[in-house]
Amino acid sequence: MSARRSAFVPETGARSGSARIRCEVCPRGCELTPGGIGSCRARGNVGGTIMPMGYGRVTSLAIDPIEKKPLACWRPGTKVLSLGSFGCNLHCAWCQNHIISQAGEDGVPWREASPEAIVALAVRAHEEDELMTSVAYTYNEPLVGWEYVRDTSVLVHEAGLANVLVTAGCVRESVVREVAPLIDAVNIDLKSIRHETYSAVGGDLDAVQSAIRLFAAEPNCHVEVTTLVVPGINDTREEMDELAAWIASVDKNIVLHVTRFFPAWRMRKRTPTPVSMVYDLADVARAHLSNVFTGNC
């Protein structure tokens, strides 16, 4: 652990000698002995304190169109500095970013990038191109290292830029309440409206629904939701109808992206979602929501 990280990152767990400590970031509640790493591969027990192992460790960095996040109805035509670390508390067999999301600090190359360094890079990018107006925390699951998201977001706002979060939202309410007031736009991955689907990937539907409600309640946060349609997992009209109706019960103006699956990671032998199915399910969702987009078609 670098001196910069140890000085900048607050302690996030109680000290407890050689005893197990429970990580309180997500519903898994991993209990870790000193030296232990959580299921997310991004939080560990360091000397009796739960620490974010990915703090300031960036594996991916790029300037993207904002539509790629995807955000369809927030600052269209602008660009965003996107960054990711490693680790994720879910283990979806179809993950497109499994190389970093399912890796720990020893499983993928990374480079140190303090919050100040990221903001300086974003400011320079904005000076070179006024369409570059925001910073996105994305690629892996950013909230397994929520402290870095929080600390960087504060500095991003001070620099006059905006914050974007792309997350699966499967974290405890306390984490959402820490970061939500700092986020200007969020895309939350709602994988299914079925508890059993979330259980299969190590997640918790209730936590994700709570996150969507909390972000939607933030007056300055624009919310969009993505549902990847995976054949045989969440591809029925009945489920899409229920999912869209639930989103509408929170706010019918929440944007929904109905997205096509392509084979990846442990589902490489599956066929892509039929385009006709994506269009049909988007039409089902439009019975409840004002703004529904299709993706990967």
> What local confidence, expressed as pLDDT, does residue 17 receive?
54
Once rounded to an integer, what is the mean pLDDT over residues 20-39? Answer: 97
**CA angle, corner 105, sides to 261 and 116, nearest 5?**
95
> pLDDT > 70: what percent of the chain?
94
Whether the per-residue pLDDT at 104 is higher than 90: the answer is yes
pLDDT of 158-202, one tens digit each?
A: 999 999 999 999 999 999 999 999 999 999 999 999 999 999 999
Q: Which two tokens stand for residue 25?
A: 């970031």
Once rounded to an integer, what is the mean pLDDT over residues 132-141? Answer: 98
Whether the per-residue pLDDT at 14 is higher than 90: the answer is no
Calpha distance 7→263 (Å, rounded) = 42
Once rounded to an integer, what is the mean pLDDT over residues 143-151? Answer: 98
> pLDDT > 90: what percent of the chain?
94
Once rounded to an integer, what is the mean pLDDT over residues 222-251? Answer: 98
Whether the per-residue pLDDT at 13 is higher than 80: the answer is no
pLDDT of 39-92, one tens digit each?
A: 999 999 999 999 999 999 999 999 999 999 999 999 999 999 999 999 999 999
- Tell me what the pLDDT averaged over the chain comes to: 94
pLDDT band, residue 2 (cuts 50/70/90) = very low
Once rounded to an integer, what is the mean pLDDT over residues 278-291? Answer: 98
CB under 8 Å to 219, separation ≥6 — which residues?
none
Calpha distance 296→273 (Å, rounded) = 10
How, if at all, do strands 43-46 and 49-52 pair?
antiparallel
> What local confidence, expressed as pLDDT, does residue 156 receive?
98
DSSP state of 266: G
CB under 8 Å to 150, separation ≥6 — which residues?
178, 179, 182
β-sheet bridge partners, residue 73: none
pLDDT band, residue 19 (cuts 50/70/90) = confident
CB 164 within 8 A of CB 201: no
Once rounded to an integer, what is the mean pLDDT over residues 281-293? Answer: 98
- The values of phi and psi at residue 200, to 5°, are -65, -25
> What local confidence, expressed as pLDDT, does residue 18 receive?
66
The order of strands in the sheet holding 79-84 is 60-65, 79-84, 132-137, 162-167, 185-189, 222-229, 255-260, 292-295
263 preceded by a cis bond (ω within 30 of 0): no
> What local confidence, expressed as pLDDT, does residue 226 receive?
98
The length of the chain is: 297
Whether the per-residue pLDDT at 141 is higher than 60: the answer is yes
> What local confidence, expressed as pLDDT, does residue 240 receive?
98
Whether the per-residue pLDDT at 3 is higher than 80: the answer is no
pLDDT band, residue 293 (cuts 50/70/90) = very high
CB 243 within 8 A of CB 92: no
The model's pTM: 0.94
* H-only helix segments in the chain: 3-8, 98-101, 115-128, 146-158, 173-179, 195-200, 205-217, 237-251, 275-286
Once rounded to an integer, what is the mean pLDDT over residues 140-156? Answer: 98
Once rounded to an integer, what is the mean pLDDT over residues 137-147? Answer: 98
Query: Picking from 7-16, 191-200, 202-211, which range would have the lowest pLDDT averaged per residue?
Result: 7-16
Domains of the chain: 3-52 (no CATH), 57-295 (3.20.20.70)
Q: What is the helix (H) or strand (E) element at residue 222, kind and residue range?
A: strand 222-229
